[in-house]
Chains A and B, each alone.
Chain A
Amino acid sequence: MQHVLKLEPALCTGCLQCEMACSYENTGAFNPARSRIKVFTFHEEGSFAPYTCTQCDEAWCMHSCPVEAITVDLQTGAKVVDEDVCVGCKVCTIACPFGTVNYEEATGKVAKCDLCGGDPWCAKACPTGAITWVPADTAGLERMRAWAYQAPRPQPTATKTPSGKPVQTYNPAPTGGQ
């Protein structure tokens, strides 16, 4: 089953463990400047948000690359840059609507999240669960559940049937969400 990085900004403390894990896995050094996942601080608001490539199916970066250096990893769905092919033209950085593929002065190539081949280090390093690695199809389930709980709905009633047995009503207590 295809997985995605699920980002929960409300849980982020801004510690940058994800950036260190990412940069270490990809460059061999703890170096947030070269991390492919970034944590942003919104100081006035008092909030933090991790952000990285969401691996679009119809990826603008991939389609825009004139030398086809960006391909799909069929195991993970990641759009992966082949550094041997990339010519550093930066067209993909213009095409990406989210800014998550970037040129690196150190290599003369572009770099983006490749999901670490299906075992992303950022998710493993996150101490608060702000970044998790979950099945893509159900990534939104917890949030849906939280909203569903808030949405107006009829209260359960103990309806009696002709047999005298109560009808089963379904209105579970919330177990997750915000």
Chain B
Amino acid sequence: MAWAGKLLRVNLTDGTVGSEPLNMEWARDYLGQRGLASKYLYEEIDPACDALGPGNKLIMATGPLTGTMASTGGRYSVVTKSPLTGAIACSNSGGFIGAEIKMAGWDMIIFEGASPTPVYLYLENEKAELRPADTLWGKTVWDADAELHRMHQDPELRIACVGRSAEAGCLYAGVINDLHRAAGRSGVGTVMAAKGLKAVAVRGTRGVGNIHDPMRFLQATEQGKKVLADNEVTGQGLPTYGTQVLMNVINEMGAMPTRNMREVQFEGAHKISGEAMHEPRSTDQRPNLTTNAACFGCTIACGRISRIDNGHFTVEHKPRYWGNSGGLEYEAAWALGSDTGVDDLEALTYANFLCNEDGFDPISFGATVAAAMELYEAGAITDRDTEGLALHFGSAEALSRCAELVASGEGFGKDLGLGSKRLCEKYGQPDLSMTVKGQEFPAYDPRGIQGMGLAYATSNRGACHLRGYTVSSEVLGIPEKTDPLTTDGKPELVKAFQDAAAMVDSSGLCIFTTFAWTPDDIAPQIDAACGGGWNTDRLLEMGERIWNLERDFNLRAGLTGADDTLPKRLLKEAAKVGPAKGRANDLGKMLPEYYRVRGWTTDGRVTDETRKRLRL
């Protein structure tokens, strides 16, 4: 129960839509969202296919708890093969569209083929129609969103949309929903645009009513909310400062990647931190942050709603950006700020608005700009390449202009849209790309947090903090403190975090709940909603199954154990300051043991024995 029990299949080549029952046998092994959609993708496409060709499919998937009263139960994932990494992509978003899809009576939508002309999907409960999107194509997400609301005369319509960056082929374009929530990573929006699909507009009025044991579900979710409210991180830190609560913490421990990861501490961190967002500006006496905001069903409400100083150089002549919209989360603040050396909070907020408005990943974008700045300062990129734009570290003007160029896909924006790996290759300095499997790093330097090095190297979607967030343990001591500078025990720790995250990402819940919730807090909620004996052990085994399925997909796509590595800079160049001074990442000490605890061969392949144990 709790599943809607059916999926919508949309063939964009033929322009047809059809309903089919959800494969409940698979749902019992993969639950929903990330796990179940990955299973469908694994079974339905050739992993070696061209990610931007019609052979790839794109799946929007909810979990069984999506659209319920469980706290944070509003998540959905976009699963496809990534054009950025060539690996499986799974990008998770909150906001409201996931719940709306579920309210309309669908667990997931599978898009296949490619449309010869731009279209959007209109979904109103059972009614599903592909409609022409000629008037939407070429519009920003914000404009297309407004246009769709106007066309349908329905203020309650929920919309997921790609922006101009995706249309222009930026390889890290995301799918934006509800104006500023994003399935942001790995270029899932690029795939959507390549299929000619501009938007998905949903109205669901059927609700989610088939909870297995309603009374037990209400009790379990109530208990879960209490745990979140009583926890220091989810009850206070996140609502007050958002994920930006981490900026000063991570900087102080010397794990703040700075200026394309050349350094591990940023002298301007305090100017772009969560605390700084609360400080009234000297110019207009208003703080950057207006309020916190929740996604569907979320009792944490870590979201940032910000307003740029209207007199700031980025927006002084652009009233379009004078209102409030989605503000800086930690990852965006880091990538747009610390990694590019820019400490101008308003400029970062402007770049972040553009990332939302035209749908591109602020992490990959910021990291690519950082790489471009290093290439520029090394003389590998010249003014001729940038059409005169001086790409110096610390330049808020350069950052803002780069965001405008990637948004529209014009000029040097085309090069920036390639991502860090391809950009550095193009300009002859591949070692300057701070990526794993082609995807840019997030905001935790693995020299200062050793376990994260292993988590990055082995992540199934390239460098990513959400695939195995050992920061929880190594920095925050959740569920128990481990030494961030040791490699001992990290292979087991990374595996445990990876499996647990795969489970949470398949439920419809937000991973941020795990600052407070253990799997023991989650299992009763899933069990009461779904029925059928979902206990912690089964859920974690399922997480492991999902991890191995994704791994298998990647191996079939042509990746190998040799891709489980880090850039030379992180393996060879020691941190120069901070608590991790003198340390590089000791991946070599952890990787063989990780393969062993995973039950893989010494070159990182899934063994038949493991496959059998997990019923793959």
Contact = CB atoms under 8 A, between A and B. Distances in A.
Contact of B323 (A34, A43, A48): A43
A127 to B, nearest CB: 4
B324 A44 contact: yes
A13 B298 CA distance: 9
A16 interface: yes
A43 B325 contact: yes
Given A13-B292, A17-B299, A32 B103 contact: yes
B37 interface: no
Contact of A43 (B179, B205, B225, B239): B179
Interface stretch (B206-214, B362-370, B477-485, B572-580): B206-214
Nearest to B218: A24
A15 B301 contact: yes
Interface string B291-316: 11111111101010111000000000
A20 B297 contact: yes
Interface string A40-62: 00011111100000000000000
Contacts of A24: 69
A103 interface: no
B68 interface: yes
Nearest to A104: B205
Given A13-B292, A15-B297, A16-B297, A34 B324 contact: no
Contact of B207 (A16, A29, A43): A29
B290 interface: yes
Interface in A14-32: 14-17, 20-21, 23-24, 27-32
A34 B205 contact: yes
Given A13-B294, A43-B323, A46-B290, A20 B69 contact: yes
Interface residues of A, number: 27
B306 to A, nearest CB: 8
A29 B208 contact: yes
B229 interface: yes
A28 to B, nearest CB: 6
A31 B205 contact: yes
B206 A29 contact: yes
Contacts of A14: 293-294
A128 B71 CA distance: 13
Nearest to A15: B294
Contacts of A146: none
Contacts of A141: none
A97 B366 CA distance: 50
B156 interface: yes
A21 B292 CA distance: 22
Given A15-B295, A31-B205, 6 more contacts: A27-B209, A30-B69, A46-B293, A46-B307, A46-B324, A127-B225
Interface of B: 67-69, 71, 96, 99, 103, 156, 179, 204-209, 225, 229, 239, 290-299, 301, 303, 305-307, 323-325
The list of the 9 closest CB pairs from A to B, nearest first, reads A31-B207, A29-B209, A46-B324, A29-B207, A44-B323, A15-B294, A46-B290, A33-B205, A13-B301
